[in-house]
């Protein structure tokens, strides 16, 4: 293994190239590294780029600059585990900051999960999504539909349609925007009994994992959402955030207003310092569980339709999202 400090710079350079939609030259990379707190000159960047080329992680296109290779992209997923420990929560914090939906003006972005659906399955899938949303399985009944080439920010593979569902982390964005310090703590599997939440069966904390907790439950196929809707008993996905006790009243007011904007589906605000539906909460805090938007697409998978879902993946203008 190379020196961890060199390794870190190499990974940061790959991230910068990966985030760009066109080839990047050493000069631009050096500027961006500077923005990110790495004091490293253009010459040194060239030196690092040569290492990346040799390892087959980047590719040089004459004088235009470099792009990342498939191998480089894979390396980004595997490298620097000690950084990625906290990466799930870091990424979420970034999106919470970007979610600027304003409940007064009705303008701004919400956080969305992106699900790619085969065009042939589109009608069946949207029927199920609508069914799940009508029965309150998600935080919001609004969706965004992205066809190939209609949106430059979100990539849609050939032959697929992407559906954006509102992610429950949007809630955290609303809380932060009204000045409430909020920390998403757990994603979990919720037991539903008689059409209401009875308690969490399993929890995974947002810190201490390199894979998104909701993605983990989704891939484990742990849910029985259609059953929960039909019979009142089943398993759904939910997550929990905690806020200071003193902010609980403010949060409650906020939730009432949010409901008028089709953002609801919160289960309850817990009691100060008490477990909320068996999820442990710090002293001096209250826990707020929310049904995740992913439930609607998990229901689609339960019905045997294969879809590809990326939880907490992007932000989208909420006014452009419509009820199905």
- In the complex, the residues that contact another protein under the rule CB under 8 A are 1, 4, 77-82, 84-85, 191, 193, 198-205, 207-211, 216, 219-220, 278-279
User: Please, which contacts does 212-216 make with residues 24 or more away whose CB atoms are closer than 8 Å?
Assistant: 212/88, 212/187, 212/311, 212/312, 213/88, 213/186, 213/187, 213/188, 213/239, 214/187, 214/239, 214/292, 214/294, 214/311, 214/312, 215/309, 215/311, 216/187
Min dist. Cβ of residue 212 to another protein (A): 11
Min dist. Cβ of residue 208 to another protein (A): 3
Min dist. Cβ of residue 98 to another protein (A): 25
Nearer to another protein, 21 or 78 (CB): 78
Nearer to another protein, 124 or 210 (CB): 210
Nearer to another protein, 88 or 182 (CB): 88
* Cα 13 from chain centroid (whole Å): 24
Nearer to another protein, 67 or 205 (CB): 205
Min dist. Cβ of residue 193 to another protein (A): 7
Min dist. Cβ of residue 135 to another protein (A): 21
Min dist. Cβ of residue 215 to another protein (A): 8
Nearer to another protein, 104 or 194 (CB): 194
CA dihedral 304, 310, 314, 320 (to 10 degrees): 0
Q: Report residue 192: phi and psi, to 5°.
A: -100, 135
- 119 neighbors 159 (Cβ within 8 angstroms): yes
| Residues whose CB is less than 8 angstroms from the CB of residue 13 and which lie 6 or more positions away in sequence, other chains included | 29, 33, 45, 48, 49, 52
Nearer to another protein, 84 or 160 (CB): 84
């Amino acid at each position: 293994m190379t020196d961890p400090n060199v390794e870190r710079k190499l990974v940061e350079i790959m991230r910068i190239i990966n985030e760009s939609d066109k080839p990047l030259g050493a000069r631009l990379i050096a500027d961006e590294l500077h923005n990110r707190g790495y004091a490293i000159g253009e010459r040194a960047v060239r030196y690092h780029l040569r290492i990346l080329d040799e390892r087959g992680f980047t590719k040089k296109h004459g004088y235009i600059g470099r792009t990342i290779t498939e191998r480089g992209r894979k390396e980004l997923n595997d490298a620097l585990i000690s950084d990625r420990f906290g990466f799930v929560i870091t990424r979420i914090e970034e999106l919470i900051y970007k979610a600027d939906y304003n409940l007064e003006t009705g303008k701004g972005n919400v956080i969305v999960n992106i699900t790619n659906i085969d065009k042939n399955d589109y009608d069946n899938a949207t029927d199920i999504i609508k069914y799940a949303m009508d029965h309150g399985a998600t935080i919001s009944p609004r969706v965004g539909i992205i066809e190939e080439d209609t949106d430059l920010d979100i990539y849609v593979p050939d032959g697929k349609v992407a559906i954006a569902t509102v992610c429950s982390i949007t809630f955290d964005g609303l809380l932060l925007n009204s000045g409430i310090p909020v920390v998403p703590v757990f994603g979990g599997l919720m037991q539903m009994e008689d059409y209401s939440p009875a308690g969490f069966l399993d929890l995974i904390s947002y810190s201490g994992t390199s894979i998104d907790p909701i993605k983990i439950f989704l891939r484990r196929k742990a849910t029985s959402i259609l059953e929960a809707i039909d019979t009142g008993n089943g398993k759904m996905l939910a997550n929990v955030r905690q806020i200071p006790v003193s902010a609980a009243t403010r949060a409650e007011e906020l939730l009432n207003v949010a409901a008028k904007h089709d953002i609801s589906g919160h289960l309850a605000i817990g009691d100060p310092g008490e477990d909320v539906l068996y999820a442990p909460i710090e002293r001096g805090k209250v826990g707020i569980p929310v049904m995740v938007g992913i439930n609607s697409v998990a229901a689609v998978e339960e019905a045997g339709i294969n879809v590809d879902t990326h939880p907490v993946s992007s932000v989208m203008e909420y006014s452009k999202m419509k009820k199905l």
